[in-house]
Each structure stands twice: as C-alpha cells, then as structure tokens.
Amino acid sequence: MRLWILAAFLITFFTAPTHAAAVPPHQPAVQYDDVTRFYAVFDETGGHPTAAALKSGYLDPGTAGLRAFVHARIGSAQQLADAIEKSAPDFAGARRCLPMLPAARDRLRAVFTRLAALDPEASFPPVTFVIGRDNTGGTTTAEGVTIGLEVICRSNWLDPDIVQRLVHLIAHEYVHVQQPAAQIDPPPGATLLFQSLVEGGAEFIGELTSGEVLNRHLQRWTQGKACRIERDFAAHAMGSDVSAWLYNGPGTSDPPGDLGYWVGYRIVRAYYRNSHNKAQAIQDILHVDNANAATFLARSGWRADDDCGSTDTPAPSAAPLH
C-alpha cells in the first residue's frame, strides 16, 4: 500500500500484542494499543500534548510497528506535537474510528482466509494502527503494515462506511505485503505501466478477498469516461512520469486523482479473466516487475480501444471473480 501513497494495510484479529501467541494461523495480530495510548495522552493534555508528554506516554512505550513508523514517517516527538497543533481537528476526529476496529477485525477473518487460499505462499506479518503526523495513511513492508488512523479516518472519498473502509484498505495493503516489487523503491526509469500494475494488482486481489476495491470512488467517477482515460493511459504507459496517474491524492471531483489504480486494476482483471490457470495468474499478478510489465500487458488481452465506440461506454461494475 503504499497508501499514497497510501498504499495500502493486514491480517489478523485486532488483538493486543500480549495475545498474539493465541492467534490462529493466517490470522496474525492486528495491534491498536498505540492508538489507545495516544488518546490517553491527548486527553490528559486537553488536546495539546507536548513533545515530552508524547515521548513518554506514547512513543517510548510503543510497539515495534510504531517505533518503525517514527523512523519512517513521524520523525520526532516534537514534529508530532507540531503536527497536532497545526491540524488539531484531524487528530480529535480520528477518535471516532477507534471503536470501529473490533467490527473491522471480525469482517477481516474471512478476508485473510481467502488470501491464504488464493496464495498458499502468502506471509502474514503483523498490522499496527498508530496515530502519525497526518502525512500518510500507512506504510507496507515485508515485516508488516502500519496504518496512520488519523489519515484514513478523514479519507471520506473512500467508502463512507468506516468499517468497510478499513476492511478494503487492509485487504489492499496486505496484497502489497505479498508483492516483491512493493517492498522496494521503483527502479530508475520505472514505467507508469509497471507501477499501475502493482497498485492495480492490490486492488484486484483485494477485491477477490474483501468483495470490493479500495478506491471504489474511481469506479463511479470513470463511468462514461473509460475510452478517453484508457487511451490517455496507453499513450503514457511506457513513460516514467506517474505524477498525473499515481499518488496524486484524491484530487477534486473532476478529476479525482490516482486513476492509475483504476486502469491497472482493469488490466490485471483482464489478465485473470483470460488465464486458464487462475492459481498461476495470481502468482503472475503478485510478481509483476518493471522488466515483465509490458509482457504482462500483452498477455492480458486488454486494449484501450475496447471501451471506445461511437460513444464512450460506462466502466463495468467491479464484481469479484471466483
């Protein structure tokens, strides 16, 4: 997940770290004690925590996921305190998502079971919810997924149902855990096609496991515009400039941004539908890289002009394939 990055991320019951040993296979612990501890500090300081209070009450006793997130995204206790003062409503508002985590956990059990069935080689590292610096929804590595709840909670262009939003986000991000290409920075000259296939693959397999893509708003916005969008994408697919297609946020209602997720999803979906060996197709989707992306596109059978006629055709609905 990148979560624009996202991205993203996850797999497990939402349980405290002390219960991780009791978690069944393919349901590893999802931890949110860090969020609970953050709001204890937040309340004790009247919503204006100092760097010292954040360090002693939130960061120092944090989980391994939070400690890694501090290094990657937060920076320091002072930077976090400054971000809270700058965007206080985001941090106060994220509290509303905390009670939704147990319900999301319950719905995720089936998601993780389906992922294990689709990819017998899947790994299931922990997932950690934290409060970050309001600058990223999360990070995904082979060691796990860390979600910035304050960003995801305000991302209302995604599913308006917060529990569903969390489920689809986690399904998407956990696919990134299985993608070698998602664990490293894109190579020099990485194409728009390759990077869109990585995100599109997470959208598609996330849909197979959760029943819906993360960026459902793109499915709605692209109706009646598929021909123009796909022709434009095809014209730029082998270039390395992704700025108009990926990680450019929700944008405005016209256009919404991140359309590379949508086109990548459609290419990956075509590849899966046209494959006689679905299990191998899943592995091919997970192992797309910059070197094989063009071959993947050719084998998918996807063509930009397929949605072009005398008038533009609406994008088909994103029903899961089984």
Q: Is 136 exposed, middle or buried (0-12, 13-18, 19+ CB in 10 A)?
A: buried
Residues 6+ apart with CB under 8 A from 41: 49, 53, 54, 57, 58
CA nearest to 1, candidates 212, 172, 211:
172
pLDDT of residue 109: 87
Ramachandran bin of 145, using left for φ above 0, alpha for ψ from -120 to 50, beta for the remaining angles: beta
pLDDT of residue 126: 87
pLDDT of residue 25: 67
pLDDT of residue 4: 39
pLDDT in tens, 212-241: 999 999 999 999 999 999 999 999 999 999
pLDDT of residue 16: 37
pLDDT in tens, 129-139: 999 999 988 78
- pTM assigned to the model: 0.86
Counting as low any pLDDT under 50, the low residues of the chain are: 1-23, 310-322
Is the distance from CB of 58 to CB of 41 less than 8 angstroms? yes
pLDDT of residue 277: 98
pLDDT in tens, 83-114: 999 999 999 999 999 999 989 888 888 899 99
Is the distance from CB of 165 to CB of 153 less than 8 angstroms? no
For the chain, give me the number of helices (H) and strands (E)? 14, 6
pLDDT of residue 24: 55
pLDDT of residue 27: 81
Residues 6+ apart with CB under 8 A from 280: none
Cα Rg for the chain, rounded, in angstroms? 20
